[in-house]
Chain A
Amino acid sequence: MEITRRDLFNVGGKLLVLASVGATLEQITGAAPASDAYKMADHWWGMLIDIDKCIGCGNCVRACSNENSVPQGYFRTWVERYQVEEGKATPTVESPNGAIDGFKPQKRADVKSFFVPKLCNQCADSPCVQVCPVGATFVSPDGVVLVDKEYCLGCRYCVQACPYGCRYLHPETDTVDKCTLCYHRITKGLTTACCENCPTGARQLVDFKNPKDPVHEFLRHNKVQVLKPYMATQAKVYYKDLDGSVR
């Protein structure tokens, strides 16, 4: 086949256009990007929790415990059952063993009751980060609050400072441990273990920087709230249908 000057001009022109827009090989070939293509600056992680979908099965707690080898008796996530009785100043809150085995049935129909899953709220303006004397606790560029175990002294300042009670001192390492939003999974394109195992979809991992994430549509059409908004922590765990009695 004879290659004409016109053919060369066409091919060269296309290559020039691709190079000028900075297209990668994956974009050009349409191949899936490698896992090391994860760019922290492209993400801003959080979670959406739909209270009206939570059935208190404890799947999230068991999954988290298995995935992250959480020591027995400690929890990175847990589920609380609230019973709000008319005329009572404070609700009754229970979470037997973090709800890792679910709950015994609550049969009282004369009280308002519901389940509330809890976890680190991945605050953008986090008190735990502010009080850490050695900078071991930090917010990653993609919005996850993490602990560097090499730096952590185990002083527990952050455990006291967290308004949500989401941290504990690991009994074996004597360093602070907490929910990492399954950072080892989400940076590989997976969801968190708790979201993966939630049978009703009550928990959804969300990426606020991804314009295609359904969270944007959800936030436009639903009323949501964060826990303890008066703490001004810029929490990124949003609750749909959160009752005012929840602490």
Chain B
Amino acid sequence: MHDAGRHATVACEACHGPLAKHADDPGANVPKLPQVGDLCRRCHEKDAAKPQGFPQVVTAEHSGGVPCDSCHQPHNPHL
């Protein structure tokens, strides 16, 4: 689904949850779309404990409540 960009090495299940049934029968078992607000924040909300080189923002200041996927394509989020 995504072979380029910064999420290229992130496994599908990391965002979409368990997908074994989807892998067995992709048509019949479509993964749920995650809540982007919570999902993106969990990794990218600024925290002093995170590695310095990791992309992180104070989401309230960064987007002012606008959903992340309004600007960033989750499967290929070139920053």
Could you list which residues of chain A lie within 8 angstroms of chain B, going by C-beta atoms?
52-59, 63, 66-67, 81-83, 101-103, 105-109, 111, 113-115, 196-201
Contacts and interface: CB of A to CB of B under 8 A. Distances in A.
Q: In the complex, which range does the number of interface residues on chain B fall in? A: 20 to 34
Contacts of B66: none
A196 B11 contact: yes
B42 A105 contact: no
B37 interface: no
Contacts of A111: 48
Given A58-B42, A66-B18, A106 B48 contact: yes
B43 interface: yes
Contacts of B13: 63, 196-197
Nearest to A111: B48
20 contacts: A55-B43, A55-B54, A56-B49, A57-B43, A59-B14, A63-B18, A66-B17, A82-B49, A102-B42, A103-B49, A105-B46, A105-B48, A106-B49, A107-B46, A107-B48, A108-B48, A109-B48, A113-B49, A199-B15, A201-B9
A87 B8 CA distance: 42
Nearest to B39: A57
Interface of B: 7, 9-11, 13-15, 17-18, 42-43, 45-51, 54, 58
Contacts of A109: 48
Contacts of B50: 55-56, 115
A101 B38 CA distance: 10
B77 to A, nearest CB: 12
Contact of A56 (B10, B15, B47): B47
A242 B42 CA distance: 23
Contact of A103 (B7, B9, B18, B47): B47
A200 B49 contact: no
B51 A52 contact: yes
A91 to B, nearest CB: 12
Contacts of B47: 55-56, 103, 105-107
A113 B42 CA distance: 17
Residue from B9, B42, B58 having most chain A Cβ neighbours under 10 A: B42
B40 to A, nearest CB: 10
B20 to A, nearest CB: 10
B42 A200 contact: no
A218 B10 CA distance: 21
Given A55-B54, A57-B42, A113 B14 contact: no
Contacts of A52: 51
Candidate in A53, A57, A107 with the most chain B CB atoms within 10 angstroms:
A57
A76 to B, nearest CB: 16
Contacts of A66: 17-18
Nearest to B9: A201
Given A55-B43, A101-B42, 13 more contacts: A56-B49, A59-B42, A83-B49, A102-B42, A103-B49, A107-B46, A107-B48, A114-B49, A115-B49, A196-B11, A196-B14, A199-B7, A201-B9
Given A66-B18, A197-B11, A201-B9, A105 B51 contact: no
